[in-house]
Structures are given as C-alpha cells and as structure tokens.
C-alpha cells in the first residue's frame, strides 16, 4: 500500500525502479486498480463496510472476507513514516514496524482514516508491540490472533483452533455480522484461486526466458492484500496470460531492470520486503543477477498455504502448516521447516545464491543469518549473502558494493 | 531529625585478581580495603557485623553463618572487583551485605550444585518453580549481570553479538555466549517463545545442531485476557518442562513437588511484598532507608530467586527487619537526601552505576517494575499446580507480555499513587525489543492518568574510564540531574501555590 506522503518518500534506487509504468497492459491494469482502490474503499466504508487492517501473512483473510469486511494488509517502507514512527516506538525497532507505526498514526493518512479495526497474527515481538502502540495511539480496537510458534502437534493444533474460534466470534461481534459455512467456502475458494495463480506467476518468473523485473513482479504480488480479491483474481489471469504468450506476439516481457535468462539466479530470503521496498532488488538486478524466487512473508509465503477444507479447522491447519517465519522456534535443526523450505526453494529454482535480507533490529532473522548461511552452504552448496539495511538510502553505497561483489562471485 | 547512616562508599581494592582468600585470617591485600570499609561502616567492627547479621539458610537446609557470608563476600572481590570499586555501597546495611553475597555467589553456587548432580537449567522468562520441582536449579538473566555487568568483562557480549547480531540486546546475546562457552554448567535451556521476548529464543537457536545446549521452548499465547484453553495449553507445556528437568535429575516429578516449589516461591513473594510495603510507607518515603543502588541489589533476585527461593525469602525477611529498624529510627540509606524526589523505574532496569547519580541529585529510585511485578501476586495454592502456575503467568503477573497493556498500566499507576511517585525513569537497553517500543505509550498513559512525567535513557553496556572502571555517560548524568531539578522546581511551585 502506498504511503500517505506519496511516491516522493518511496524507497528507490534507479528513478521509478519500483513504480515505472509497465510495458505490460495486464500489469498496468493491476496498477490502475490499485490506484482506484483507495477511493473504492472510502466509498465502501461510507456504505457501512468495515476495514480490518492487519499485519503478517498468517492472518486468515478468508474469515474477514466471509464476514463481509475488507481486509487490508498494513505494510510500509517509507523513510518518512519510519522517522515519524520513532516518535512513538523509539529507534531500536525494525524499520518496518517503525514505518508501520509512523504511517498509521499519521493524521490524514489513508490507513489512519479508513482502518476500523487492527489485527494481526504476529509472530515477533516488534510487530506485536507495534500493534499495541498503534491501538493505544489511534484508539482503534485491536484483537491479536495468536499463532503458535512451536512446531505443530495435536496440542498446538487444538490450542490454535480454540484461538481461531474465539477470534472469529469476537470479530463477528465487532462487525455485527456472522459468517455462514457457504460464505466461508466462497471466500476460501476465492483466496485459494488467488494462491494458485500466484504460484503460477512465481513459476513463470523462475522459468521464463525473459522474466519481468522483480520489482515489477512484486508490484503485482503486493497488490493482492489491498485489492478486492475477486478483481485481483481476474487481474492475475490477465498477467499470467500475457506472460505466457509467445514473446513475438507482444512487447518483450523484459523490463529495463530485468536480467537475461543466463544471469546468476538468486533467491531472496529473510526479513519482510514491503511494497515499494525496491532498493535491494534494484541493486541485485543492476548488478546482473536474476531473482528467481523468494521466501518473503509478503511474497511467496502468502500463497504457500492451500486451504483444503473450508472450515475453521481447515484454515487452522493451513496456516499452521505454511512455511514458518524466522520468529518461530524449533529446537531441532534437522527438522526446522523454515530452513528446509528455503533449501527446497533453492533447489526448485536452481538458485546460484541466496541474498538474506536483514532489516536493522530484525532479531528474528538477523540472529539466524549465520546459521542459515552455514545450513545452505553445507547442504546445498549455495552461497549466502546477508545484507543488513534499513529504509532510506543512507547505506546505499555499502549495500551496492556488497551486492556487486556477491553477484560477481556467483556469476 | 533523621540521619543518613553514612555517605555510602565505593572502595578501591588493589588490582590483584584472585579467587583465593575467603578466610578472615588469610585476607589478601586487595581485600583489606573492602573489609576496612565494611568494618568502618558498622560500629563495633567485624563482631558487630556478624552479630547483627542473621545466618542464611538455603533450600537444601544448609545454613551458612554470618561470618561465613562475610568471608565469602570479601572473596567475591577476586572475580568481581568492579562490584566493589565501581558502585557506591551502603556497607552499614548489614543484611545488604548478605544480599550482595547471594548475588555474587550465583556462579559458584551453580557449579557447586552441578557437581552434586543437580541439573542446571537456563530458564528464560519463565517461573523458576518448574525447575525446582524437577530437582534442578534455574538461572535466568542474572548470570549476565554477574558475568558482564559486575565483572566488567564484556567479552561475552562481544562474542554474543558475533553469534547473533551486532544490534542484539547485550543481555540476550551474552547469555547465549555464556552458555556456548560453558562458562556456567547448563544442561538445558527452557525459553518462553511466543512474543514474550522473541530475541531470547532466537538467541538460543544458535545452540542447535550440536553446538551447545539442548533447548525446549514454551509457547505463550499473547495479547489477550487468557482464556481457559490458553491456561491449559501453557499448563501442559509447563508439565512437560518440569518433566524434562526431572529426566535430567532422575526424578519423577509429582504434583507435590510442584506445590512445594510454589509454596517456596510464594514465601519469597510475600517477603518481597512486605519489603515494598516498608519502602512505600509514609515514613520511608520521607527518609528512604535504602539508597537507590541498594534498592536494586535487594530486588534483583526476585526475577529468578537466584536459584534458591528459600534462601531468597530468608534473606529478604532479615533485610526487612533491618529496614524496619531504620524507618523507626529515621535512618536514611547511605547517600540519600532527606525527602528526596521519588522516582520509579518501569520496564528494564540494570545494575547501572547511574543510581548513585540519582541519589546525588537529590532523588531516590524507590522501585523497579520488572522485579516488583514478579512478586505482585502469589501463585494460587489450590487446584492443579501447573494450571496455578500458568494462571499466575498469564493472568496475574502484570508485566507479562501476555497481559493486556491496560493491566500493566493499572498496576503501575497503583504503585505510583501509593509511593507518591514524582517521576518515572525509563532505562532502556539498546537492542531490547521488549520495553523500548512500549515506554512512550506507558509514559503517556501514566502522564494522562496521574500527571507524572517521565524521562527516557537508552544505553548499551556502561561506559568505562581510562582505568577500566564503569562510569556514567555525561549525557545521562545531565539528563538525570535536569529531570530531578525540574521535579524539585515543580515541588516548590506546588508549595507556593499552596498545593
């Protein structure tokens, strides 16, 4: 979601690297729908619809949708918002949570005006505290959805189902609506359809001889949690259709920043890559790398959870079974699902290297950087570059040098 | 007219570092100044001190005499010389000497217990009863205090940051490094996961893959008034945690074992609550019986009982007697001003040299949320013991991350009213994800409710001077002095207005 302060505050390297008008009509349609959505949501609210602003990818949007509310994901990376957030949470929070607080507390911002209810299935302490601060400062009601952080077993599943039932009941109470099994099935089918299409897009991006730039790709992926899901599903069909079409029938799918198919293949891992967080991606592509996958919580992890049964149990199982965040714990290194998932990802995408993005003060990923590097290098022979950074361009030169050196090594 | 017992002293032992010399007839040179300072502080010298101090009885029924406590305390100057040189002590507080011994002997006691086959468990942010019930000895964050803060040795922090992140809280990473280096003989880590303190469990994952100590994580549902299912879920994990400790000690953990541990913990909690009632009594507010530094030394053990709730309770009961005597006779703690500006420290609090700056500026730190909240309420002694512990953890501990924000503020506001607190002093630690994000909101809530202002200081490990001694950063000194001065002016203004 764009910030209140507009494109000027967005994080960029090359001019308009993340916001350039696409050569693809289908992607322009996504951009247009995104731009139109602000007014649409405002209009829907005037008609009585409620907006649930949430953080983290483990939040069951199906449930909110089935209750007739509008779920929108709160994720920002504006340096201005980050600075404003410091006023409320200090400067030792990660840039993402600082920007989150700075944006939603900003009077006149879209989220400050139009979010009715705050929530999130948060896994790290920083997101947890950010929501508590937001609720206190904006007086918006808040209800967390607790998600277990330990490896799943019967007790964990049972506890999470209890929590999901309580959450659904309390959300129903707030919205003044109840959900029906039919409505839930419709929502689950809708979001499952979206996930299938995003999975297809990821596969295309990894295999296509002329992929689009990852920042452009991310614009499509990141639009989902803001757009109307039915419209988004249709828009994704358009994007897939256009990307699957033979290159001779239209303009080259490759954008200015995209790398040739023979470029070193890189998987992006680590902390959240929020919408418009384009710097690292641009630096990688400018250095000649081709991004072929990610395990970002705002990227591929948002669709790695097909819901098999349109029930609360089905939703609980799907979210518990999806690839975990770095905040999740597992004392058993061999069975750590996050590492396994990342290893599988590097194999299926035939990655030459992994760039592990650590936002400053993101302990959940920073603490595990060394272990992740050792794990992947020993088992898959895949080199890993850990990049520590924050929003704004204060460390641009430093990050560029490291990225260029890494791409040179894996080339 | 009240009197200050003494000005408080920081002694200068020699530079020699040895762990020998725990017997009074073998006092080595570097220990003499410490002994001298202690003897000088109490009229009648050694005999008067040992006569005034009660012996200390531990959980295993062993007792050490006051003379032995004193000998061992002086012996601690070997491994922990900075404990004596860099902090201002009120050596006239006889039971305070015992508190210092209890604190500084933690590492030795861990080794002694381990040698006897007692499993040592690094218990991160969870109730110690779980480990005691399983026949083990818990240790939490205090080992960072002794091995880094007090020892002045920052190598564990540096190593910890290499293992985790250069932006890590110095405490969490140091504990992880201490464990990896086997600086203490830990057999198992049991850490609260969930959002209780997400950096702590993440730090302990560095031990995976055979690098160090086996870990077990207890998942804590957060952010809601705990439902019954949440209590049962946590209780089930508590049962598994106690059983895991029992496996190490070769003990089948019975409910009665847990009840006994709970009773011991509650005795310590009650002793501490008596302590806070004394500290917040009207006479004590006018003439605080403890200096700010002695305040924190007294309550630091409360977070984890420093491995022994029975000894901890006995210690505090003895201290309470001495404090009561001081209050009755109007004796203030060493270095504390009469009718000082009353401060409370919410959130994290460290063993910082900053406390003597507070006293010097005419203030007094009367209490500490982290530690005081831990004994705010007893664990219920009926029903299922694991559920009772889980209920306490989720519903009664006001500082628990599981507790709603409003509950924390309510409790804090109650303390502020009772203690007629004039200012809140937030001492944030660099890299900490637990407190700093919430401090501004907590401060705002208290300001709106009670009109009490706050000041915020953030620091990493303390700075050191050219001789390697801790010092208070100039900016922090200035901030504290200005804050207390502002509160004094405010007082004068109220008087002039007839308030």
Q: Give the nearest chain B residue to A142 (CA atoms).
A: B223
Radius of gyration of chain B (CA): 22
Q: Are strands B56-57 and B63-64 parallel, antiparallel or unpaired?
A: antiparallel
Cβ contact (<8 Å) for A333 and B198? Answer: no
- Sort out which chain A residues have CB atoms less than 8 A from B428's CB and list them: 90, 92
What radius of gyration do chain A's Cα atoms show?
A: 20
Strand partners, B427: B457
CA distance B445 to chain A (A): 9
Q: Which residues, numbered 192 to 231 in chain A, qualify as contacts with chain B under a Cβ-Cβ cut-off of 8 Å?
A: none
Helix (H) or strand (E) holding B382: none
B214 near A CB under 8 A: yes
Looking at CA atoms only, how far is residue B66 from chain A in angstroms? Answer: 44
Q: For residue B283, count other CB atoms closer than 10 A to its CB.
A: 14
Chain A partners within 8 Å of B230 (Cβ): 146, 159, 162-163
Provide the CATH topology of domain B117-499: Rossmann fold (3.40.50)
Q: Who contacts B256 (Cβ-Cβ below 8 Å, separation ≥6)?
A: none
- % of chain B residues with pLDDT over 90: 59
Q: Two tokens at A217?
A: 């790709």
User: What percent of chain B shows pLDDT beyond 70?
Assistant: 90
Nearest alpha-carbon partner for A217 in A230, A192, A236, A234: A236
ipTM for the whole predicted complex goes beyond 0.85: yes
CB-count burial class (<10 Å; 0-12, 13-18, 19+) for B117: exposed
| Contact with chain A for residue B199, Cβ under 8 A | yes
Chain A residues with CB-CB distance to B205 below 8 A: 329-331, 367-368, 371
pLDDT tens per residue, range B306-363: 999 999 999 999 999 999 999 999 999 999 999 999 999 998 887 678 999 999 999 9
Q: Is B12 in CB contact (< 8 Å) with chain A? A: no
Contact list, B221 vs chain A (CB under 8 Å): 146, 159, 163
| Residue B6, helix vs strand vs coil | coil
Q: Are B369 and B345 in contact (CB under 8 A)?
A: yes
Residue A270 C-alpha, separation from nearest chain B C-alpha, in angstroms = 14
Q: Which residues of B touch A358 (CB under 8 A)?
A: 165
Q: Does B460 touch chain A (CB under 8 A)?
A: no
Q: Do B437 and A93 count as a contact with CB atoms less than 8 A apart?
A: yes
Using CA atoms, how far residue A146 sits from A89, A120, A167, A401, B38, in Å, is 22, 8, 9, 40, 53
Q: Which backbone phi and psi does B190 adopt, to 5 degrees?
A: -120, 115
Interface test with A, best of B220, B238, B433 (most A CBs within 10 A): B433
| For testing contact with chain A, the best of B219, B238, B386, B458 (most A CBs within 10 A) | B219
Which A positions 370-399 lie with beta carbon below 8 A of chain B? 370-371
Test the A interface: residue of B175, B195, B409 with most A CBs within 10 Å: B195
Q: CB–CB of A368 and B205 under 8 A? A: yes
Q: How far is CA A294 from the centre of its chain?
A: 10
Mean pLDDT taken over chain B: 88
Is the minimum CB–CB distance between A38 and chain B shorter than 8 Å? no
By C-alpha distance, which of B461, B489, B490, B456 is closest to B475? B456
Cβ–Cβ gap A367/B202 under 8 Å: yes
pLDDT (average), residues B436-442: 90
* Contact residues, chain A, for B163 at CB < 8 Å: 370
Encoded tokens for B386 = 């694991």
Question: How does pLDDT run across A31-56, given as a tens digit for each residue?
Answer: 999 999 999 999 999 999 999 999 99
Contact B435, A89 (CB under 8 A): no
| pLDDT mean over B214-226 | 83
Residue A329: list chain B partners with CB under 8 A.
191, 193, 201-202, 205, 217, 219
B194 touches chain A (CB under 8 A): yes
CA distance A129 to A126: 5
Which pLDDT score is estimated for B392?
Answer: 95
**Which residues fall within 8 angstroms of residue A149, CB to CB, at 6 or more apart?**
A123, A324, A327, A328, A329, B193, B194, B201, B217, B219
- Alpha helices of A90-180 — where are they, by DSSP H? 95-105, 110-114, 125-138, 154-175
Any chain A CB within 8 A of the CB of B399?
A: no
Supply the pTM of this predicted model.
0.91
Specify the range with the lowest mean pLDDT, choosing from A44-58, B62-76, B360-374. Answer: B62-76
Tens of pLDDT, residue by residue over B268-301, are 999 999 999 999 999 999 999 999 999 999 999 9
- β-pairing, A353-359 vs A290-294, is unpaired
Picking from B168, B203, B437, the nearest residue to A129 by CB comes out as B437
Strands A384-389 and A290-294: unpaired
Nearest chain A CA: its distance from B407 CA (Å) = 13
Interface test with B, best of A82, A89, A140, A149 (most B CBs within 10 A): A149
Q: Are A140 and A115 spatial neighbours (Cβ–Cβ below 8 Å)?
A: yes
pLDDT at B150: 87
> Which phi and psi (to 5°) does residue B157 adopt?
-65, -45
Q: Do A149 and B440 touch (CB under 8 A)?
A: no
pLDDT at A19: 59
Higher pLDDT, B14 or A114: A114
Residues of chain A with pLDDT under 50: 5-17, 248-257
- Measure the CA–CA gap between A317 and A322, rounded to whole angstroms: 9
A48 touches chain B (CB under 8 A): no
B49 CA to chain A: closest CA distance, Å? 46
Tokens for A302, please give them: 């948002």
Query: pLDDT band for position B233 (50/70/90)?
Result: very high
Contact at CB, B444 and A136, closer than 8 angstroms: yes
* Residue of A90, A149, A155 with shortest CB distance to B236: A155
Interchain pair B208, A136: CB under 8 A: no
* Local structure of B426: helix, strand or coil: strand
Q: Does B167 touch chain A (CB under 8 A)?
A: yes
Q: Does B164 touch chain A (CB under 8 A)?
A: yes
Q: Is B441 on the interface with A (CB under 8 A)?
A: yes
Smallest Cβ–Cβ distance between A331 and the set B203, B214, B219 belongs to B214
pLDDT at position B364 is: 97
pLDDT score for B422:
98
Within an 8 Å CB–CB cutoff, is residue B448 touching chain A?
no
Check if A167 contacts B (Cβ < 8 Å).
Answer: no
Q: CB-CB: which of B201, B456, B458 is closest to A329?
A: B201
């Amino acid at each position: 979601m764009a910030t209140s302060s507009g494109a000027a505050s967005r994080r960029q390297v090359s001019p308009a690297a993340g916001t350039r008008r696409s050569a693809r009509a289908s992607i322009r349609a996504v951009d247009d729908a995104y731009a139109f959505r602000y007014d649409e949501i405002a209009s829907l609210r005037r008609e009585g619809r409620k907006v649930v602003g949430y953080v983290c990818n483990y939040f069951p949007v199906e449930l909110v949708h089935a209750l007739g509310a509008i779920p929108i994901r709160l994720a920002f990376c504006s340096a201005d918002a980050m600075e404003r957030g410091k006023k409320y949470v200090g400067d030792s929070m990660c840039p993402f949570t600082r920007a989150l607080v700075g944006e939603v507390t900003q009077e006149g911002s879209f989220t400050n005006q139009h979010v009715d209810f705050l929530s999130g299935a948060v896994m790290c302490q920083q997101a947890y505290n950010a929501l508590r601060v937001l609720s206190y400062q904006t007086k918006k009601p808040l209800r967390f959805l607790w998600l277990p952080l330990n490896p799943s077993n019967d007790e964990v599943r049972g506890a999470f189902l209890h929590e999901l039932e309580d959450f659904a009941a309390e959300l129903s109470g707030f919205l003044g609506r109840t959900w029906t099994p039919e409505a839930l099935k419709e929502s689950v089918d809708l979001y499952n359809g979206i996930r299938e299409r995003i999975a297809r897009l990821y596969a295309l991006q990894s295999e296509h001889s002329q992929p689009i730039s990852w920042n452009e790709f991310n614009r499509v992926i990141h639009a989902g949690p803001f757009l109307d899901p039915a419209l988004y599903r249709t828009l994704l069909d358009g994007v897939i259709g256009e990307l699957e079409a033979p290159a001779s029938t239209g303009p080259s799918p490759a954008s200015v920043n995209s790398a040739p198919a023979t470029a070193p293949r890189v998987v992006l891992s680590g902390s959240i890559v929020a919408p418009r967080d384009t710097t690292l991606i641009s630096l990688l592509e400018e250095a000649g790398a081709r991004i072929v996958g990610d395990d970002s919580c705002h990227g591929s992890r948002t669709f790695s959870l097909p819901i098999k049964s349109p029930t609360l149990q089905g939703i609980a199982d799907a979210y518990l079974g999806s690839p975990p965040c770095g905040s999740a714990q597992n004392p058993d290194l061999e069975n750590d699902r996050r590492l396994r998932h990342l290893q599988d990802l590097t194999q299926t995408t035939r990655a030459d290297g992994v760039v592990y993005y650590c936002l400053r003060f993101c302990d959940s990923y920073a603490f595990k950087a060394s272990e992740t590097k050792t794990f992947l290098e020993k088992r898959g022979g895949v080199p890993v570059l850990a990049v520590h950074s924050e929003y704004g361009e204060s460390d641009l030169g430093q990050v560029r040098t490291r990225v260029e050196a890494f791409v040179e090594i894996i080339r | 007219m009240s009197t200050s017992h003494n000005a408080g002293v920081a002694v200068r032992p020699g530079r020699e570092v040895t762990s020998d010399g725990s017997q009074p007839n073998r006092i080595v040179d570097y220990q003499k100044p410490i002994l001298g300072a202690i003897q000088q502080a109490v009229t009648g010298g050694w005999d008067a001190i040992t006569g005034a101090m009660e012996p200390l009885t531990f959980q295993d029924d062993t007792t050490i005499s006051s003379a032995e406590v004193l000998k061992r305390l002086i012996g601690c100057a070997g491994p922990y010389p900075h404990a004596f040189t860099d902090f201002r002590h009120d050596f006239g507080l006889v039971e305070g000497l015992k508190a210092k011994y209890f604190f500084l002997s933690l590492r030795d006691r861990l080794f002694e217990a381990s040698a006897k086959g007692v499993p040592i468990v690094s218990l991160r942010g969870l109730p110690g009863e779980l480990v005691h019930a399983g026949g083990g000895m818990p240790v939490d964050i205090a080992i960072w205090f002794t091995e880094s803060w007090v020892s002045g040795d920052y190598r564990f922090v540096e190593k910890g940051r290499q293992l985790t992140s250069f932006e890590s809280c110095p405490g969490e990473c140091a504990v992880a490094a201490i464990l990896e280096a086997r600086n203490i003989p830990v057999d198992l880590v049991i850490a609260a996961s969930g959002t209780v303190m997400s950096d702590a469990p993440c730090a302990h994952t560095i031990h995976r893959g055979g690098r160090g100590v086996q870990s077990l994580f207890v998942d804590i549902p957060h952010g809601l008034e705990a439902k019954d299912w949440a209590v049962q879920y946590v209780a089930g994990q508590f049962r598994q945690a106690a059983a895991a400790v029992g496996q190490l000690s070769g003990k089948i953990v019975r409910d009665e074992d847990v009840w006994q541990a709970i009773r011991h913990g509650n005795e310590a909690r009650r002793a501490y609550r008596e302590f806070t009632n004394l500290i917040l009594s009207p006479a004590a507010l006018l003439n605080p019986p403890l200096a700010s530094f002695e305040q924190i030394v007294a309550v630091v053990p409360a977070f984890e009982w420093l491995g022994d709730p029975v000894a901890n309770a006995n210690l505090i009961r003895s201290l309470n007697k001495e404090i009561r005597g001081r209050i009755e006779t109007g004796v203030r703690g060493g270095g504390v001003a009469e009718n000082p500006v009353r401060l409370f420290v919410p959130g994290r609090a460290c063993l910082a040299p900053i406390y003597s700056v507070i006293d010097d500026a005419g203030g007094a730190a009367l209490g500490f949320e982290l530690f005081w909240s831990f004994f705010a309420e007893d664990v219920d002694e009926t029903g299922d013991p694991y559920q009772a512990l889980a209920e306490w953890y989720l519903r009664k501990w006001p500082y628990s991350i599981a507790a709603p924000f409003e509950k924390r503020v309510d409790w804090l506001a109650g303390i502020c009213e009772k203690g007629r607190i004039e200012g809140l002093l937030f001492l944030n630690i660099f890299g900490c994800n637990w407190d700093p994000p919430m401090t501004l909101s907590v401060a705002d809530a208290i300001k709106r409710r009670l009109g009490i202002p706050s000041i915020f200081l953030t620091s990493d490990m303390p700075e050191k001077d050219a001789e390697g001694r801790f010092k208070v950063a100039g900016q922090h000194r200035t901030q504290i002095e200005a804050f207390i001065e502002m509160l004094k002016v405010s007082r004068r203004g109220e008087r002039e207005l007839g308030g």
